């Protein structure tokens, strides 16, 4: 049945005009939206301030929610633990024995390392995290993979800093507001990370595929030396990430590399730490076009976060 | 002793009609607030792998628009989309544009097919949300590859299945919205 035509404006001029105005305003709204969209695709950081202010407002609420999420995850895990306790106990005991032996060996190696480093007069520099905070929210409905971190410029977080969990790399800071920041996760399709195989010097790029896995693209093409189960760590190229942080495990081989699962799933990590940029000068150098001059203090003329054009083999691509 | 024939004869589904009336504030703010809340909802789960959560803000917008034509003005897509853009992770302007277009599209559909039924609403929502997800992915600035496109399918299916639930919630909220709370003197 057709509805009563109460919404039809009939002969009333006023009603006709107001309906027409509605269409026009909606059309203008769509046009303005299209222009804004074009602008923000062209200059991704343009509306970062607005977004930052908005996320600053929501972070306190999200933080409580993040704590609740972590607790519920822990609860599920402990229930699972009870179900598998017996079998797991036996397996763990065996593993423990082996681990004790390895630990003793590792202690010996560490001792030797310290002695050799002492001979070479190398400084043992420990990286202190800039901030430790919760991942409080993520863009779960959008194709882009961002997460929001409950620490911002007030805590010393700056654009470009690597974010890691105890297990491995999570992503990199993309936008900073006062008390919150936006993190580009490794799984985002615009994220590129220089990695190497853990046991040798096979270097590659780990690119997000947008479906939760990473594509490992070897730099030196030829016979693909990768095997399923290979672990990839950051190589330190580009200067953003310090080398040797776990990134991904290869799960499938392809012609020019493979598909890998990430080691540090942000959904499973409660607290993450923001680390300083490993080699700021190198990071700036990687973002500087070859014909551009470096400043006196080693800083280039361009802001590192702004530029999108990068020479091949540099750090993560910064485009949004 | 004469009993009243029907004790509820002076009530309608929104409460007592004696000395009570709808509150304009409640009646007009509830749709906007639920849509804004829907925009914030996808933030809650940490989904690192794939976009799985339905675009709840848009689902609420479509549900309100289909259930109560004329309640939201034609230009409602602009302010609501602006709010959604602040949190969705899409480039700024994507929801402003797409939500405005969705409002215009529903208007067109209603002029062409003036009948009303839930299944028709569901079909309209299915088509619109599908188009929205595809265009949002295109506008997101991500490299559109096969893997990205495949990942949209579970989200789309979930959105379709969730729409009846959203429609029920909106129907409940619509009754709450028109509850006679204001006392008339």
Q: Report domain A47-83+130-283's class.
A: mainly beta
Number of domain units in chain B: 1
A195 has pLDDT over 80: yes
Contact A144 B101 (CB under 8 A): no
Mean pLDDT of B151-158: 91
Helices and strands (H and E) in chain B: how many? 6, 4
Residue A302 is predicted with a pLDDT of: 42
Residue A306 is predicted with a pLDDT of: 40
Out of A11-20, A63-72, B16-25, B103-112, the most confident range is B103-112
Residue B130 is predicted with a pLDDT of: 94
- pLDDT confidence bin for A1, thresholds 50/70/90: very low
B22 or A64: which leads in pLDDT: B22
The reply to whether B19 falls in a domain is yes
Residue A27 is predicted with a pLDDT of: 92
B87 has pLDDT over 90: no
Please name the residue of chain A whose CA is at the shortest distance from the CA of residue B159: A141
A133 touches A240 (CB < 8 A) = no
Contact A7 B70 (CB under 8 A): yes
- pLDDT confidence bin for A310, thresholds 50/70/90: very low
Which residues of A are less than 8 Å from B155 in CB distance? 141
Looking at every residue in chain A, the average pLDDT score rounds to: 79
Q: Specify the 3-state DSSP secondary structure of A247.
A: strand
Please name the residue of chain B whose CA is at the shortest distance from the CA of residue A214: B49
Looking at every residue in chain B, the average pLDDT score rounds to: 88
Residue A296 is predicted with a pLDDT of: 46
Interface predicted TM-score of the whole assembly (ipTM), two decimals: 0.82
Please name the residue of chain A whose CA is at the shortest distance from the CA of residue B108: A23
- pLDDT confidence bin for A288, thresholds 50/70/90: low
Measured between CB atoms, does B67 come within 8 Å of chain A? no
- Domain extents in chain A: 47-83+130-283, 87-121
Least confident interval from A19-33, A280-294, B113-127, B169-183: A280-294
Q: Which of B44, B48, B104 sits opposite A65 (nearest CB)?
A: B44
- Give the E-state strand segments of chain A in sequence order: 131-138, 146-149, 162-164, 169-176, 181-185, 192-197, 203-208, 213-218, 231-234, 246-254, 257-262, 271-274
- pLDDT confidence bin for A316, thresholds 50/70/90: very low
Which residues of B are less than 8 Å from A4 in CB distance? none
List Cα–Cα distances, A238 to A155, A160, A170, A317, in angstroms: 25, 11, 17, 10
Measured between CB atoms, does B38 come within 8 Å of chain A? no
Rg (chain B; Cα; Å): 20
Least confident interval from A179-193, A238-252, B4-18, B164-178: B4-18
- Sorted by sequence, the CB contacts under 8 Å of residue A52 that are 6+ apart come out as A152, A175, A176, A177, A178, A180, A182
Which residues of B are less than 8 Å from A2 in CB distance? 114-115
A118 or A148: which leads in pLDDT: A148
C-alpha span between A84 and A81 (Å, rounded): 5
C-alpha span between B62 and B120 (Å, rounded): 13
| Domain around B125 | 11-183
Which residues of B are less than 8 Å from A190 in CB distance? 141-143
The reply to whether B56 falls in a domain is yes
Give the angle subtended at the CA of B73 by the CAs of B122 and B95, to the nearest 5°: 65
Least confident interval from A211-220, B9-18, B90-99: B9-18
List Cα–Cα distances, A28 to A22, B11, B97, in angstroms: 10, 44, 10
Residue A165 is predicted with a pLDDT of: 86
B19 or B158: which leads in pLDDT: B158
B61 has pLDDT over 70: yes
The reply to whether B71 falls in a domain is yes
- pLDDT confidence bin for B164, thresholds 50/70/90: very high
Contact B97 A30 (CB under 8 A): yes
Residue B185 is predicted with a pLDDT of: 77
Q: Specify the 3-state DSSP secondary structure of A261.
A: strand
Structure token digits, residue B69: 């034509």
Mean pLDDT of A243-259: 87
The reply to whether B85 falls in a domain is yes
A201 or B135: which leads in pLDDT: B135
Q: Tell if the pTM clears 0.90, that is, is over it.
A: no
pLDDT, one tens digit per residue, over B30-52 is 999 999 999 998 888 776 678 88
């Amino acid at each position: 049945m057709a509805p009563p035509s109460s919404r039809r404006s009939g002969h009333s001029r006023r009603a006709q005009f107001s309906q027409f105005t509605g269409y026009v305003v909606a059309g203008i709204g769509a046009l303005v939206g299209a222009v804004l969209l074009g602008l923000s695709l062209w200059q991704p950081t343009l509306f970062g301030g607005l977004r930052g202010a908005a996320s600053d407002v929501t972070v306190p609420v999200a933080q409580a929610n993040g704590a609740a999420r972590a607790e519920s995850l822990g609860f599920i895990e402990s229930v699972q633990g009870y179900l598998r306790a017996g079998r797991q106990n036996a397996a763990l005991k065996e593993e423990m024995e082996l681990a004790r032996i390895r630990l003793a060996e590792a202690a010996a190696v560490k001792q030797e390392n310290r002695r050799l480093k002492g001979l070479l007069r190398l400084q043992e520099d420990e990286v202190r995290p800039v901030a430790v905070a919760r991942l409080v929210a993520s863009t779960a409905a959008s194709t882009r993979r961002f997460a929001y971190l409950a620490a911002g410029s007030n805590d010393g977080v700056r654009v470009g800093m690597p974010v890691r969990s105890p297990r491995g790399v999570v992503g990199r800071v993309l936008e900073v507001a006062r008390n919150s920041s936006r993190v580009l996760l490794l799984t985002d399709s615009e994220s590129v990370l220089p990695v190497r195989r853990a046991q040798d010097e096979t270097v590659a790029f780990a690119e997000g595929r947008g479906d939760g896995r990473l594509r490992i693209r070897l730099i030196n093409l030829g016979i693909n030396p990768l095997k399923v189960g290979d672990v990839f760590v950051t190589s330190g190229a580009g200067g953003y990430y310090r080398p040797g942080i776990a990134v991904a495990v290869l799960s499938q081989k392809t012609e020019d590399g493979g598909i890998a699962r990430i080691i540090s799933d942000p959904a499973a990590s409660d607290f993450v730490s923001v680390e300083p940029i490993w080699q700021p000068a190198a990071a700036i150098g990687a973002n500087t076009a070859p014909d551009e001059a470096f400043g006196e203090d080693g800083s280039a003329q361009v802001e590192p976060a702004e530029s999108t054009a990068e020479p091949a083999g540099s750090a993560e691509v910064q485009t949004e | 002793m004469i009993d009243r024939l029907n004790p509820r004869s002076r009530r309608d589904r929104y409460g007592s009609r004696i000395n009570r009336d709808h509150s304009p504030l409640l009646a007009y703010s509830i749709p906007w607030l639920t849509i804004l809340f829907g925009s914030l909802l996808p933030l809650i789960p940490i989904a690192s792998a794939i976009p799985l959560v339905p675009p709840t803000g848009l689902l609420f917008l479509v549900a309100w628009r289909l259930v109560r034509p004329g309640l939201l003005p034609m230009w409602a897509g602009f302010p609501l989309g602006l709010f959604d853009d602040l949190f969705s992770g899409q480039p700024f302007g994507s929801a402003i544009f797409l939500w405005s277009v969705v409002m215009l599209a529903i208007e067109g559909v209603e002029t062409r097919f003036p009948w009303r039924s839930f299944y028709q609403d569901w079909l309209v929502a299915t088509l619109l949300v599908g188009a929205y997800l595809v265009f949002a992915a295109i506008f997101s600035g991500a490299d559109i590859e096969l893997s990205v496109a495949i990942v949209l399918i579970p989200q789309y299916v979930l959105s379709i299945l969730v729409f009846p639930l959203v429609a029920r919630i909106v129907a409940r909220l619509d009754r709450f919205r028109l509850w006679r709370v204001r006392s008339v003197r």
